Chain A
Amino acid sequence: EADIYQTPRYLVIGTGKKITLECSQTMGHDKMYWYQQDPGMELHLIHYSYGVNSTEKGDLSSESTVSRIRTEHFPLTLESARPSHTSQYLCASSAGWNTEAFFGQGTRLTVV
């Protein structure tokens, strides 16, 4: 089992609400990632981080923001949720670019 945790697993929330998806890892990995994935579909990188205080946008444009204040913690925030944000969000971490990436179980977000 990978030591990377996402909470909540499922979230149903109304339009316009602010939400934060939590991701924590205990492996001491510098690199962390957020992917957006519709069930069984392609993984789209939306944010990544090289380490503390470094964050970058990924290949897919997203209205979400991230922060990396501590090595082990990489939360994702949506200031105003919309139905178009309904998706699964996967967090991952790795020691390097060419080492195994460990994924959390994901947060299934539904915005109504």
Chain B
Amino acid sequence: QQQVKQSPQSLIVQKGGISIINCAYENTAFDYFPWYQQFPGKGPALLIAIRPDVSEKKEGRFTISFNKSAKQFSLHIMDSQPGDSATYFCAASISSGGSARQLTFGSGTQLTVLP
């Protein structure tokens, strides 16, 4: 059972455009939602993360939008650059209590930003 569903599987954007990647989750106990960026030949690295007490978090060109009622969150990359071309993974975890558990990852989105 896939608890975090990610879309699209691949995305092609022109330089300067906006890249949007979406994730939906099922388990309402999730309380930590990070996004990871992975370049070929490297391990994933944390890009930005949000907790459910806020609806949006922005760090530079990267923004997470979070909709608790819809159980969805998305990554927006403004002014996309060729250097942003990578695979992006959303994830979710439960941080405390008897149900605490490690990150559950989405299936990944391969982003290509054309020059």
**Which positions in A face B, CB cutoff 8 Å?**
2, 31, 33, 39-43, 45, 48, 59, 90, 92, 94, 96-98, 100-101, 103-106
B108 / chain A contacts, CB cutoff of 8 Å: 40-43
B84 within 8 A of A: no
Chain B: minimal CB distance from A107 (Å):
10
A2-B45, A40-B38 given; name 6 further pairs at CB < 8 Å. A33-B102, A43-B105, A90-B44, A101-B34, A103-B43, A106-B43
- Tell me which residues from 6 to 50 in chain B have a Cβ below 8 Å from any Cβ of chain A: 31-32, 34, 36, 38, 40-46, 49
- Tell me which residues from 73 to 115 in chain B have a Cβ below 8 Å from any Cβ of chain A: 87, 89, 93-96, 100-108, 110
Secondary structure class of chain B's binding surface, majority of residues: strand
A98 touches B32 (CB 8 A): yes
A105 and B43 alpha carbons, distance in the complex (Å): 5
For A40, the closest partner residue in chain B by CB is B87
Secondary structure class of chain A's binding surface, majority of residues: loop
24 contacts between A and B (CB under 8 A): A2-B43, A2-B45, A33-B102, A40-B87, A41-B107, A42-B105, A43-B44, A43-B89, A43-B105, A43-B108, A90-B43, A92-B43, A96-B95, A97-B32, A97-B94, A97-B96, A97-B101, A97-B102, A97-B103, A98-B51, A98-B96, A101-B36, A104-B43, A105-B41
Q: Within the complex, which residue of B44, B100, B105 is in contact with A97, where a contact is CB–CB below 8 Å?
A: B100
A43 and B103 alpha carbons, distance in the complex (Å): 10
Count how many chain B residues have C-beta atoms less than 8 Å from C-beta atoms of the other chain: 30
Chain B: minimal CB distance from A37 (Å):
9
For A92, the closest partner residue in chain B by CB is B43
B107 / chain A contacts, CB cutoff of 8 Å: 41-42
B42 touches A105 (CB 8 A): yes
A33 and B101 alpha carbons, distance in the complex (Å): 12
Q: Within the complex, which residue of B31, B44, B51, B104 is in contact with A103, where a contact is CB–CB below 8 Å?
A: B44
